[in-house]
Amino acid sequence: MKALVFKAPYEVAVEEVPDPRIEAPLDAVIRITTANICGSDLHPYEGRAELEAGMVLGHENMGVVEEVGPGVNRVKKGDRVSVPFNLACGTCRNCNDGWTSACLRANPSGQPGAGYGYPKMGPYRGGQAEYLRVPWADFNLLELPAGDEHENDFTMLSDIFPTGYHGTELAKVSPGRSVAIFGAGPVGLMAAHSARVRGAAQVFVVDKEADRLRLAEEFDATPVDLSDGDPVEAIMDATDGLGVDCGVEAVGYQAHDPGGQEHPGLVLDNLVSVVRATGAIGVVGVYVSDDPKAATEDAKHGRVDFTYGAAFEKGLSIAAGQCPVKKYNRELRDLIIRGQAFPSRIVSHELSLDDAAGAYASFDKREDGWTKVLLRPGGPV
Amino acid sequence: MKALVFKAPYEVAVEEVPDPRIEAPLDAVIRITTANICGSDLHPYEGRAELEAGMVLGHENMGVVEEVGPGVNRVKKGDRVSVPFNLACGTCRNCNDGWTSACLRANPSGQPGAGYGYPKMGPYRGGQAEYLRVPWADFNLLELPAGDEHENDFTMLSDIFPTGYHGTELAKVSPGRSVAIFGAGPVGLMAAHSARVRGAAQVFVVDKEADRLRLAEEFDATPVDLSDGDPVEAIMDATDGLGVDCGVEAVGYQAHDPGGQEHPGLVLDNLVSVVRATGAIGVVGVYVSDDPKAATEDAKHGRVDFTYGAAFEKGLSIAAGQCPVKKYNRELRDLIIRGQAFPSRIVSHELSLDDAAGAYASFDKREDGWTKVLLRPGGPV
Amino acid sequence: MKALVFKAPYEVAVEEVPDPRIEAPLDAVIRITTANICGSDLHPYEGRAELEAGMVLGHENMGVVEEVGPGVNRVKKGDRVSVPFNLACGTCRNCNDGWTSACLRANPSGQPGAGYGYPKMGPYRGGQAEYLRVPWADFNLLELPAGDEHENDFTMLSDIFPTGYHGTELAKVSPGRSVAIFGAGPVGLMAAHSARVRGAAQVFVVDKEADRLRLAEEFDATPVDLSDGDPVEAIMDATDGLGVDCGVEAVGYQAHDPGGQEHPGLVLDNLVSVVRATGAIGVVGVYVSDDPKAATEDAKHGRVDFTYGAAFEKGLSIAAGQCPVKKYNRELRDLIIRGQAFPSRIVSHELSLDDAAGAYASFDKREDGWTKVLLRPGGPV
Amino acid sequence: MKALVFKAPYEVAVEEVPDPRIEAPLDAVIRITTANICGSDLHPYEGRAELEAGMVLGHENMGVVEEVGPGVNRVKKGDRVSVPFNLACGTCRNCNDGWTSACLRANPSGQPGAGYGYPKMGPYRGGQAEYLRVPWADFNLLELPAGDEHENDFTMLSDIFPTGYHGTELAKVSPGRSVAIFGAGPVGLMAAHSARVRGAAQVFVVDKEADRLRLAEEFDATPVDLSDGDPVEAIMDATDGLGVDCGVEAVGYQAHDPGGQEHPGLVLDNLVSVVRATGAIGVVGVYVSDDPKAATEDAKHGRVDFTYGAAFEKGLSIAAGQCPVKKYNRELRDLIIRGQAFPSRIVSHELSLDDAAGAYASFDKREDGWTKVLLRPGGPV
């Protein structure tokens, strides 16, 4: 089959690789209809997270079940499904507790958490390909209505819609609260959409890209343009000096200060300033424990320096981490089906798998308008 | 009346000061029966938090209502009461939400949160004195059974028992979970006691003072002696390499590394290492936003540098701040009354108010056995 | 001043009564701008809840502070405020816990819970009048933006918007869930609106009045017309036989079966049938412990007979009771201010206080189109 | 193998039946070391729940894995395990949400929830036998430490310890609260033990059997003897007329009034009276939707008549149903291992499987001292 293969930093190519097959009784093989490129695919692409050459990329996958192993008893050939980016066993302690993001058994390294086509997440190939093997298929797969309706909405269920929603869950967004979201990339925009779904009264989204801020407005959020000055001041002004109840970090440690310098603690500093005393911050922008290319010696080892003294004085809670997709994807699916959610608004490109290498290059350069790219390994749906 | 007055760093004295009186319709005046010295009293004592000369110290207070203003309609003269260290208005948004630690109206500075005899907490005098004025008395005071039974237990209700309990609440301690508490000072010990009250299966307490570790054992916790080597390793070994579900920070930013150097991020580093993926950390050890005597330039401005990358990868939640005492003190009182809690075990000294200056000096030097000092402004109870 | 006075069942009149005045240091007197007639005002009106002659009716009140007692330190003359229907002391255990609906001190009868102008809720006069005395004013009053904007939305904050919302809280409505609401009176409609605010994917509203079902549609709910057949069957059909996650009871014990017979267990039976296993039911329709005019001997003593065996087998939770308005009114106010909630859509009549007696008669007969009546004691706003 | 077979009401016998075998890839076969007789086994025994002749009884099972199917990848031959009484698929919506008690796929009847050897719970044989087949073994089985330590404590993990705990969870028991438990059978006693584990300040247990009340005292609860008079009055007196915060129903619909008459609403009436306003009631005593031998026509169809009007006025929540064992059994196991829980205190008999028929007869007659019977199909451990 054809698949997008990682060769070396900044070098990916669509190549022929062996078809995936049923390797264990609980496996399924999925024919991919849509696979998205994710902002975090750029970490290995840029060499900031080490990936072995030859790995197939792609952890935002959906498609149709092609074949199942003999122990699979729930999903069956022909089912249309979404594949959560966390690959989980379904029977360990963390899976039992709903933390599929920290499955204790799926990653042979022994680290909690596994995934598809990603550094440190186990040997599992990604889904920017014609087919994908999914272990523990009955547990991992979310069933979708047959057909091709809502394809571009449903494809957001594998990662970024739940991830944005998780940010608002960690930030304790509830009806009537005010929220500041830093970052208007796909995850930040999904957090804005989620904040409205959860009944937030006021939603601010901070970024400096005009096209992304326009999308924030489409999700009924108030855009705050970093290029216009200090976002903390802007939000304090808009909230009568009180600040917001909830903050979402959707940027990560690669944040850049106005001078263009990478500055890992920058967004946390801003959130500690802008969230009011007793508030909560949800961190879904990625921080890592080691990064050979990081800006400072501390950052190379995942140390981050921020205004924790003020966070204590304000009594803030700061919760972080990868989203356990299964915790949210069924409900988000139902909101899409009932017309209450429409995450596909962020889609900027629908491309053939053959165009994937070019798409990585454009997306990595943050070319204007490249918000969210969908790949169609089987052609247009 | 007599009161313990702050004169200058390392200089306090018992002096005559004017009696407190009813200044507003909702005030009460309390005759103090017991006032404790708190570890955080040492922050102004050591000059690490600036306090104006002449202030009466003391925020861990209990006693008997002596007089009430005309708007007080619940408590009455003769009631035995505990005075939470947070002084709160009872009617602002944060008080409505149970966050008396962040009352929006009691502190004339406009900062959330007020208290007695403490830097930045408003103009209110402390209770290491014969009498104390308590504003919004009906809201702030917790009624206790008449008489003098359980005096040494009840006196822990004004601050450290709820504060230790708050640490376990922020750390999401629940039945069957495992907990690591860093710091076996009074707050850490109260956290250990609270963890057992909440049904923890396993409780570790880390410190280096033998007398404190012995007390931890009395509260049915497993002592981990820092002098014996790396506490992270010790706890990982005792949990089959899994780490604990919950962590409590009961040390604060003045932590010292084995070399005796002050190191603000040290305890957070250890907690991030020792708490398992998906776990929670509660921070009740104090961090501050400015400290002129801090070890580093960063620390002077409340910046703390720790392994946040690993915290993200593990999906940890870190919640912090002063305890909203009213959220817990009634239930903790009832546990004392019903014989299910016995916080007085940590009391090491019961002294006359006249001995207060010497007690500060001994307590500040961490002299052996000076765990918790109670002052009796009216003599022994 | 002029006020609507209860004389005898089915007999109310606007009369001159003495002006309210500050009776205690924490009192305020409010000049009423809008007072609504509530469905539960019909209980005393119809003689099904005994009220002493001469009582001023009205517990859905808003207005402007006219005068405050010497102990009032937060609200002040001129503030525009909403008055929650629960009258609460702010300092008892239940008030501390957020249960102002069960205040332990405000009702001289010793029963938990007090209110304005209502049977068993204490001696406090209601607000269908020019002025209203509000005890413990700082605690009870919710501040509103000055002016007269949103008057018809804000007037829903004193009771039915929070009450409908409370139904959805007790029913555990959260994003993506499905909800069935029995009763499309004002409370049921507010529950439907609240369910959407909370992100429900699917909302059914059951009633038999066409005008109310039309309003349900305006709040984006699916109307289920009782006249068209069994509502349980209709909802099971619309949910592929699965039933809904959440049920709200907004009818009460005076439900009538298709034959026109009063049948106290009818709605609970339907909810137990229609809510899926593990689901939750929130009961805000009123049930009472004694009613001399009830249909059966059992009902006279508040006994209700329903399919509890099935409720157990399905593992349902059923939570009930008056709404603690303060728990929700600030957030609901902010949703109105930010344009995310618009409860005024249910208003059918805006009348002078002088028209109150006739309005009671029409409302009691459920005349077509009499959904929600607002009285303006000071004339139009 | 030998197994206890149901023949007809009041007639059970140990007989040879075919050995269970691996029927599906996810099955395991367990060699039973201990199988308890449960109070609910008496429902089919007495003919109040219809069971087909030939069924093997027993849903409280533990043992050692003897064989696993090819799709089993977590547990393995030789593992010592506890078998939750709910038999669940692990991949349906309810299992995903932690509601294994309402698994949507395991019961061929289509009803939510399946189990072993029990009416309406599917075709699965029970474990009062030498061997037991367990479907979806990786999901259902809880691993225990190897060996035979704590056998009598661990055997409580399959049902009654989690079930008693579930009662306290539904009743919202938390540190410092007061609790009244109706019924001192095994489940009521486990609820009492659980209430203490959860930090309750005060625990009452109501029953009329002296031996059970003595056991309640051993679990540090206050016994309330029904034979001494009205238990509501006794508890109100012991709580200064306030009532308790939490109530647990551990009797069920077969409650008998002092006159010896079966009275399905009796315990709910008492709980509504004894739980204070805003409190919560957890119902784990069994109610059923049909019972041909019930006392009244209503009860035959699962209708129960109780003081729901008062429940509404008090704002009570009433939550009910079978325990989802997996939600609690790991934490309860760890409490046993760490010496914080000791449910085996209720064991009254440890018998050979051959003695099972006689044990049923004695247990059914509530003979003095027959509190909890353990069967050892493989002989003493």
3-class DSSP assignment, residue D96: helix
Q: State the Cα–Cα distance between residues D33 and D380, nearest whole angstrom.
A: 8
Q: B287 and A321: CB-CB below 8 Å?
A: no
Q: What's the sign of the alpha-carbon dihedral D228, D230, D235, D240?
A: negative
Q: Inform me whether the pLDDT recorded for B134 exceeds 90.
A: yes
Option in A174, A201, A333 nearest C338 (CB): A201
- CB-count exposure of residue D339 (10 Å: 0-12, 13-18, 19+): exposed
pLDDT of residue A296: 83
Cα dihedral D153→D159→D160→D162 (10° resolution): 90
pLDDT digits (tens, 9 = 90+) for D189-238: 999 999 999 999 999 999 999 999 999 999 999 999 999 999 999 999 99
pLDDT of residue A293: 84
C340: nearest CA partner in chain A: A201
D23: nearest CA partner in chain A: A71
Instruction: Identify all chain C residues contacting B326, using CB atoms and an 8 Å cutoff.
Output: 96
Q: Inform me whether the pLDDT recorded for B179 exceeds 90.
A: yes
> Can you list the positions of beta strands (E) in chain B?
2-8, 11-16, 28-37, 60-68, 80-83, 131-134, 142-143, 178-182, 202-207, 222-225, 244-249, 275-283, 304-306, 317-320, 349-352, 373-376
pLDDT digits (tens, 9 = 90+) for A24-83: 999 999 999 999 999 999 999 999 889 999 999 999 999 999 999 999 999 999 999 999
| Residue where the block lists tokens 């033990």 | D193
pLDDT of residue C235: 98
Quick one: three-class SS letters along chain A?
A: CEEEEEEECCEEEEEECCCCCCCCCCCEEEEEEEEEECHHHHHHHCCCCCCCCCCECCCEEEEEEEEECCCCCCCCCCCEEEECCECCCCCCHHHHCCCHHHCCCCCCCCCCCCECCCCCCCCCCCCCECEEEECCHHHHCEECCCCCCCHHHHHHHHCHHHHHHHHHHHCCCCCCCEEEEECCCHHHHHHHHHHHHCCCCEEEEEECCHHHHHHHHHCCCEEEEHHHCCHHHHHHHHCCCCCEEEEEECCCCCCECCCCCECCCHHHHHHHHHEEEEEEEEECCCCCCCCCCCCCHHHHCCCEEECHHHHHHHCCEEEECCCCHHHCHHHHHHHHHCCCCCHHHHCCEEEEHHHHHHHHHHHHCCCCCCCCEEEECCCCC
Q: A71 and D26: CB-CB below 8 Å?
A: yes
Contact (Cβ atoms closer than 8 angstroms) between residue D114 and residue D136: no
Instruction: Identify all chain D residues contacting A98, using CB atoms and an 8 Å cutoff.
Output: 98
Q: State the Cα–Cα distance between residues D343 and D193, nearest whole angstrom.
A: 8
pLDDT of residue C295: 79
Option in D175, D202, D338 nearest B198 (CB): D175
Option in A253, A276, A319 nearest B309 (CB): A253
pLDDT, mean of residues A366-372: 91
Contact (Cβ atoms closer than 8 angstroms) between residue A82 and residue A158: yes
pLDDT digits (tens, 9 = 90+) for A162-188: 999 999 999 999 999 999 999 999 999
Percent of chain C with pLDDT over 70: 100
Q: Measured between alpha carbons, how far is residue C111 from residues C121, C347, D48, D342 in Å?
A: 8, 33, 42, 41
pLDDT of residue C258: 80
Instruction: Identify all chain A residues contacting D98, using CB atoms and an 8 Å cutoff.
Output: 96, 98
Chains within contact range of chain A (3+ C-beta pairs < 8 Å)? B, C, D
pLDDT digits (tens, 9 = 90+) for B7-19: 999 999 999 999 9
Give bridge partners of residue D27 from the DSSP assignment.
Answer: none
Q: C319 and D314: CB-CB below 8 Å?
A: no
Q: Inform me whether the pLDDT recorded for A299 exceeds 90.
A: no
- ipTM exceeding 0.90, yes/no: yes
Using beta carbons and an 8 Å cutoff, which residues of D are at the interface with B? 165, 174-178, 197-202, 330-335, 337-338, 340
B and D: number of Cβ contacts within 8 A: 58
pLDDT digits (tens, 9 = 90+) for A256-266: 888 888 889 99
pLDDT of residue B299: 86
pLDDT digits (tens, 9 = 90+) for B155-174: 999 999 999 999 999 999 99
pLDDT, mean of residues B214-239: 97
Candidates D111, D308, D327, partner chain C, best to mutate (most C CBs within 10 A): D308
pLDDT digits (tens, 9 = 90+) for B340-375: 999 999 999 999 999 999 999 999 998 889 999 999
Instruction: Identify all chain A residues contacting D24, using CB atoms and an 8 Å cutoff.
Output: 71, 73
A321: nearest CA partner in chain B: B315
Option in B112, B308, B320 nearest A312 (CB): B320
pLDDT of residue B258: 80
Option in C199, C337, C338 nearest A198 (CB): C199
pLDDT, mean of residues D28-47: 96
- CB-count exposure of residue C216 (10 Å: 0-12, 13-18, 19+): buried
Q: Inform me whether the pLDDT recorded for D257 exceeds 90.
A: no
Percent of chain A with pLDDT over 90: 93
pLDDT digits (tens, 9 = 90+) for C48-107: 889 999 999 999 999 999 999 999 999 999 999 999 999 999 999 999 999 999 999 999
3-class DSSP assignment, residue C299: helix
pLDDT of residue C269: 97
Q: pLDDT class for D262, splitting at 50, 70, 90?
A: confident
Q: Inform me whether the pLDDT recorded for C299 exceeds 90.
A: no
Dump the DSSP string for D246-270.
Answer: EEEE-S-TT-B-TTS-B-TTHHHHH
Instruction: Identify all chain D residues contacting A92, using CB atoms and an 8 Å cutoff.
Output: 74
Q: State the Cα–Cα distance between residues D353 and D61, nearest whole angstrom.
A: 13
Instruction: Identify all chain A residues contacting D140, using CB atoms and an 8 Å cutoff.
Output: none
Q: What is the mean pLDDT of chain D?
A: 96
Q: Inform me whether the pLDDT recorded for C291 exceeds 90.
A: no
- What amino acid occupies position C268? L
Q: State the Cα–Cα distance between residues A244 and A222, nearest whole angstrom.
A: 13
Q: Mean pLDDT check: name the lowest of A117-126, A157-166, A293-302, C268-277.
A: A293-302
Q: State the Cα–Cα distance between residues D128 and D60, nearest whole angstrom.
A: 8
- CB-count exposure of residue B380 (10 Å: 0-12, 13-18, 19+): exposed
Q: What is the mean pLDDT of chain C?
A: 96
Q: pLDDT class for D381, splitting at 50, 70, 90?
A: confident
pTM of the model: 0.98
Nearest Cα neighbor of D113 from D356, D340, D363, D325 is D325
pLDDT digits (tens, 9 = 90+) for B261-288: 888 999 999 999 999 999 999 999 999 9
Q: Inform me whether the pLDDT recorded for C381 exceeds 90.
A: no
Q: Inform me whether the pLDDT recorded for C148 exceeds 90.
A: yes
Q: Inform me whether the pLDDT recorded for D276 exceeds 90.
A: yes
Q: State the Cα–Cα distance between residues C17 and C5, nearest whole angstrom.
A: 9
The CA-to-CA distance between both ends of chain A, in Å, stands at 19
pLDDT, mean of residues B125-135: 98
Nearest Cα neighbor of B292 from B46, B59, B122 is B46
Q: A96 and D326: CB-CB below 8 Å?
A: yes
Instruction: Identify all chain C residues contacting B24, using CB atoms and an 8 Å cutoff.
Output: 71, 73
pLDDT digits (tens, 9 = 90+) for B81-120: 999 999 999 999 999 999 999 999 999 999 999 999 999 9
